[in-house]
Amino acid sequence: MAFFESEMRDGKHRLGPMQSIEVPMKQFGEDETVDYCIVGVGSAGGVLLQRLARAGFKVVGLEAGPFWNTERDWVSDEEGSHELYWNDLRITGGQDPLALGSNNSGKGVGGGSVHWAAFTPRFHPSDFRVYSDDGVGADWPMRYEDLKPYYELLEREMPVAGPAYFPWGDPHGYTYAPHPSGGVTDVLVRGCTELGIRTVSGGPVAILSSSHGDRPHCIYRGFCLQGCKAGAKASTLITHVPDAIEYGAEIRSLCMASRVVMRNDGRVAGVEYIDRKGKQHIVKARAVIVAGYAIETPRLLMNSACPGHAQGLANSSGTLGRYLMAQAGNVVAGRFEQLVRMYKAPPANALSEEFYETDPKRGFARGFAIQTVAPMPVAFAKHMINAMGAWGWGMRRVMMDYNHWAAFGLLGEILPWADNRVELAEAKDQYGLPVAKVTFNLHDNDKKLIEFAKNKTMEVMQAAGADLVVQEARYAHLVGGARMGDNPATSVVDKFGRTHDIPNLFICDGSILPTQGSANPGLTIQALAARTADYLIREGEGVFYTNGRNLNMEEPHTRHDLSPKYTAMRGNPRIT
Amino acid sequence: MTTKRSFPFDSVRGREIKDLPQPGYYNGFSTLAQKDFWDEATLRVVEERVEQTPPIRFFNEKEAATMQAIVDRLVPQDDRAADRTIPILPVIDERLFKNRLNGFRYEDMPPDQEAYLRGVQAIDEMAMGRYGVSFVDASVHQQELLLKSLRDQKPEPDHHVWQTMPVGRFWSMLLEDCVTAYYAHPWAWDEIGFGGPSYPRGYMRLENGLPEPWEKDEQRYEWNAPADSVSELELPDNKTLAGNGGGQ
């Protein structure tokens, strides 16, 4: 008999061991017109829902997956966590096809932030001007300084634990103390130090190093990618959604959006969806924000094609679905004579961004980061299939040595290319909707970058004293597919996420990123969502009635008074 | 139930390694012995995995027999005692019976169910072509040689199925499914010294590979794969797997 049975059986909707949803969720009527319908309650959708609800708007979030009760639904077990991922069919192809599913796609309230490792580095100032500086990729229609207040705001709201001094990009510090080191962090710091490469450890990660409001601190069990049952790792499910519900937002979970519905005056009328029983409904909304991430967002807009929008909504430029990006995510594994036991402590802990910026001597544009990862046994056995060619008795033998291995992930910037894209496939999903087809090809700069980054990361593992170093090529994260830009002919949305084509249709998620740097995108996605929310709040009713494109494009005033409870403190250490 | 058997060898004691309740270097370590410290939802999932083996519903009898022989070579368990054998085929069969996907399909691959049926049939026909017997009736060594040709992406003999289904992708899917079933099982966690579920207690000794008070230090021993096995690790020259298993 387990000790913790009674806490699970009290019927509450639990989000971690201390937090629960105490108020009944608002339910808007079937015919009621809401202000905003947000499609996808993930990293961006969760923040938008919370901000707009606090500001007094009527908001409904549609989520294809379940509204997790973490004590009931989540487990400390790799295979038992299968349902956290977007497992529905997608077709993947091209010369360098991307693995999808558990690799990069979440399903359920909280979306990908439920199973992210929670590394939260900011993008560097140079990420916002890649085309100007390097003549490749694209510039952002905004500067680092425009996003900085939102980086600081979200670092407090998640909140982020990390070192007092983070030396790369715009140097800064973190409010919450860094985490203790696990075995893999020791290896990374040792190897980098040997080679004179700067590292930080203990973060930046959106994992609590001390208790905070109604959330406890980390217990170092290592199952971050399986959903943090301890409630220490931030996901919008536990950081923003409870506040959104308290302030009157409604989430319709297990509801799959099938189409954004157009009115005949060129504005959207709402979103059609299929509920958990297979019944079709429409949410009538004065504006719609699509936040379905880099694959489902373009797919939904393409599946919404109608007269006047034959190639899909917001696609007059033909760029919808294009410029899809994943980061190179090669896993480098090293075996040590001593035990490491990499399953303890969060996989995301230490990193180096020493190679982040363009170095002309290397012969390619942009760069990469080196980070700790720590695959659990099933994931590690899968790595060994490719990295070691292991099978049969060899697989048994290498896995008996599981506790002797450490693993790093490189995170390499792959540039945005028009031929890397999301389209509709002929195959259909369980709702009868055409599924996404994803095409991915590495280009010359990408290949050179990966080769250099792979060798450098292996060198670090070697320098740490590994007696055997192997690697597997793979990819991490997904962004792009509906990029933002000033020019409506070459981008899908403006710098606040408003589609160039349809004045009351917005996109706000990873798909709007023009480039991706070599930082994990989660923090940037949430910061962009908070900034878009401030913009929408400032514009107020104007969003619902204005058709013109000459809108106020000034940066909004940052609303520090809309943060979820317990997070309204001041002070991100700034390094000057 | 395993098919043919082929035992690894203890060269120090000069005997076959078999009937082990727990292979690996962590003798006496048991994750399930810690179950009082697991949360109820996790306990339920893991106990069900140990106590309830799903029935075979996707593969027919002949296909299931071939698959069992394949699985027994991809993740051999000949060293394990019969009542401590980890079910792999029933887990794969259940995934296919329920058509449980992993979120994507490569554009050059057929749907998972079809891929398995075609792959299993091809392997059986390859055995017939190469050895004149079905895969099940081939010797363990012959079975390994044939499977290794798939791993090396040089099917021997070639089979028309591999013209329309990339052999590397099929190999990865098949082997990933096998290791997923094996290393998701608590007996495999005991074998490799993985601490297993750990909520709400967590871990306290994070550095230097140190064990928790309830974990065990490693006790390494030498073992050899069966003499004619071709599935051993292919290590670079001068590399061996030595270890200091703690015990500080």
Given CB atoms, is B169 within the 8 Å cutoff of chain A?
no
Ramachandran angles phi, psi of A558, nearest 5°: -70, 125
Q: Strands A13-15 and A19-21, how do they pair?
A: antiparallel
A392/B232 CB distance under 8 A = yes
Strands, DSSP E only, in A9-58? 13-15, 19-21, 33-39
Interface test mutation site (partner A, options B146, B228, B233, max chain A beta carbons within 10 A): B233
Question: Do the Cβ atoms of A414 and A137 come closer than 8 Å?
Answer: no
Give me chain B's average pLDDT, please: 94
Q: Which two tokens stand for residue A351?
A: 């990193």
Distance (Å, rounded) from C-alpha A204 to C-alpha A218?
A: 14
The complex scores an ipTM of 0.97
Q: How many CB pairs under 8 A join A and B?
A: 259
Given CB atoms, is B206 within the 8 Å cutoff of chain A?
yes
| Residues of A with Cβ-Cβ distance to B198 under 8 angstroms | 76, 219, 221-223
Given CB atoms, is B7 within the 8 Å cutoff of chain A?
no
- Among the residues of A494-574, which ranges form H helices? 522-539, 542-545
Q: Which two tokens stand for residue A247?
A: 């302030």
Q: Give residue A1's pLDDT.
A: 34
Closest-CA distance, A399 to chain B, in angstroms, reads: 6
Q: Give residue A175's pLDDT.
A: 83
Chain B residue at shortest CA distance from A425? B107
pLDDT digits (tens, 9 = 90+) for B144-175: 999 999 999 999 999 999 999 999 999 999 99
Look at residues B224, B116, B221, B130 and name the one whose alpha carbon lies nearest to residue B175.
B116
pLDDT tens for chain A, 576 residues long, are: 334 444 455 678 999 999 999 889 999 999 999 999 999 999 999 999 999 999 999 999 999 999 999 999 999 999 999 999 999 999 999 999 999 988 888 999 999 999 999 999 999 999 999 999 999 999 999 999 999 999 999 999 999 999 999 999 999 999 889 999 999 999 999 999 999 999 999 999 999 999 988 999 999 999 999 999 999 999 999 999 999 999 999 999 999 999 999 999 999 999 999 999 999 999 999 999 999 999 999 999 999 999 999 999 999 999 999 999 999 999 999 999 999 999 999 999 999 999 999 999 999 999 999 999 999 999 999 999 999 999 999 999 999 999 999 999 999 999 999 999 999 999 999 999 999 999 999 999 999 999 999 999 999 999 999 999 999 999 999 999 999 999 999 999 999 999 999 999 999 999 999 999 999 999 999 999 999 999 999 999 999 987 765 567 888 888 888 988 888 766 676 765
Look at residues A440, A389, A388, A445 and name the one whose alpha carbon lies nearest to residue A415.
A445
Q: Which residues contact A313 (CB under 8 A, 6 or more apart)?
A: A260, A262, A268, A301, A304, A305, A306, A499, A501, A502, A505
Q: What residue ranges do the domains of chain B occupy?
A: 53-185
Distance (Å, rounded) from C-alpha A84 to C-alpha B77?
A: 31
Question: Do the Cβ atoms of A515 and A130 come closer than 8 Å?
Answer: yes
Question: Do the Cβ atoms of A353 and A163 come closer than 8 Å?
Answer: no
Chain B residue at shortest CA distance from A106? B103
Look at residues A60, A41, A534, A480 and name the one whose alpha carbon lies nearest to residue A287.
A60
CA A283 to chain centre: 26
A393/B226 CB distance under 8 A = yes
Question: Do the Cβ atoms of A289 and A39 come closer than 8 Å?
Answer: yes
What B207-214 contacts at long range (C-beta under 8 Å, 24+ apart), as own/partner pairs, is B207/A180, B207/A181, B207/A182, B207/A183, B207/A186, B208/A183, B208/A186, B208/A338, B208/A339, B209/A183, B209/A338, B209/A339, B209/A340, B209/A341, B209/A403, B209/B246, B210/A339, B210/A341, B210/B246, B210/B248, B211/A341, B211/B246, B214/B33, B214/B34
**Strand, coil or helix: B63:** helix
Q: What is the largest CA-CA distance in chain A?
A: 69
Q: Give residue A2's pLDDT.
A: 39
Q: Give residue A12's pLDDT.
A: 87
Per the listing, tokens 């710098």 go with A495
A93/B108 CB distance under 8 A = yes
Amino acid letter at A273?
Y
Q: Which residues pair with A472 in a beta bridge?
A: A331
Topology of domain A5-550 in CATH is FAD/NAD(P)-binding domain (3.50.50)
Ramachandran angles phi, psi of A152, nearest 5°: -65, -40
Q: What residue ranges do the domains of chain A occupy?
A: 5-550
Per the listing, tokens 């930082």 go with A519
- Other CB atoms within 10 Å distance of the CB of residue B139: 13
Chain A residue at shortest CA distance from B172? A385
Amino acid letter at B121?
Q
In degrees, rounded to 5, the angle at the alpha carbon of residue A450 between the alpha carbons of residues A447 and A453 is 150
- Among the residues of chain B, which ranges form H helices? 40-51, 61-74, 89-97, 112-131, 140-151, 161-164, 167-183, 186-192
Amino acid letter at B81?
A
Q: What is the CA radius of gyration of chain A?
A: 22
Interface test mutation site (partner A, options B86, B179, B228, B235, max chain A beta carbons within 10 A): B179
Chain B residue at shortest CA distance from A386? B172
Distance (Å, rounded) from C-alpha A563 to C-alpha B13?
A: 67
Given CB atoms, is B222 within the 8 Å cutoff of chain A?
no
Interface test mutation site (partner A, options B104, B144, B217, max chain A beta carbons within 10 A): B104
In degrees, rounded to 5, the angle at the alpha carbon of residue A87 between the alpha carbons of residues A83 and A89 is 160
Q: What's the Cα-to-Cα distance from A189 to each of A184, A202, A203, A206, A372, rounded to whole Å?
A: 9, 11, 13, 20, 10
Closest-CA distance, A201 to chain B, in angstroms, reads: 13
Question: Do the Cβ atoms of A536 and A556 come closer than 8 Å?
Answer: no
Q: Which two tokens stand for residue A279?
A: 């019944």
List the single residue in B35, B183, B200 with the smallest CB-CB distance to A377.
Answer: B183
Q: Which two tokens stand for residue B236?
A: 């670079």
Number of H helices, E strands in chain A: 14, 19
Given CB atoms, is B23 within the 8 Å cutoff of chain A?
yes
Number of H helices, E strands in chain B: 8, 3
Look at residues A188, A181, A159, A266 and name the one whose alpha carbon lies nearest to residue A504.
A266
Q: Which residues contact B111 (CB under 8 A, 6 or more apart)?
A: B105
